[in-house]
């Protein structure tokens, strides 16, 4: 596998479920990101990890819980979500947190909350 991969690609869950999104990057990067893309809104940055340490949390509700066990893997744990959390969740990575080489994105997980 190359680049940034995300699983699952599609997820449907009820409001009481607990699920996790997984992201893996094969680029040797040190920074990883979670973004949310809702219909007709710009991509919103949720979390930033640099060298496995969370360096930014953009006022995201606690029902979203990120985890970065190593520099190649990033998880987003979901619990007690709301229907308005339905969106495309994108993972990205970059060489460093403020890399001049830009960010590389995964294909995303399409989440539907019923």
Partner 1 sequence: KQEVTQIPAALSVPEGENLVLNCSFTDSAIYNLQWFRQDPGKGLTSLLLIQSSQREQTSGRLNASLDKSSGRSTLYIAASQPGDSATYLCAVHGSEKLVFGKGTKLTVNP
| Selected binder of partner 1 within 40, 59, 69, 70 (CB under 8 A) | 40
CB 107, CB 39: distance < 8 Å: no
Looking at 11-19, 69-77, 79-87, 88-96, which segment touches partner 1 (CB under 8 A)? 88-96
Q: In a 10 Å sphere around its CB, with 0-12 CB exposed, 13-18 middle and 19+ buried, how is residue 71 labelled?
A: middle
Task: Decide: is 88 part of the binding site for partner 1 (CB under 8 A).
Answer: yes
Q: Provide the CB-side half-sphere exposure for 75 (13 A, CA).
A: 10
Question: What does the binding site for partner 1 look like in residue numbers (CB under 8 A)?
Answer: 4, 6, 33, 40-43, 45, 48, 56, 88, 90, 92, 97-98, 100-108, 110
């Amino acid at each position: 596998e190359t680049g940034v991969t995300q699983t699952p690609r599609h997820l449907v869950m009820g409001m009481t479920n607990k699920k996790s999104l997984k992201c893996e990057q094969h680029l040797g990067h040190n920074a990883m990101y979670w973004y949310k893309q809702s219909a007709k809104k710009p991509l919103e940055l949720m979390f930033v990890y640099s060298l496995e340490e969370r360096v930014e949390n953009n006022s995201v509700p606690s029902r979203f819980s990120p985890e970065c066990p190593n520099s190649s893997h990033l998880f987003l744990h979901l619990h007690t979500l709301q229907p308005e959390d339905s969106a495309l969740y994108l993972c990205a990575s970059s060489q460093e947190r403020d890399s001049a080489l830009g960010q590389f994105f995964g294909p995303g997980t399409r989440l539907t909350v019923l």
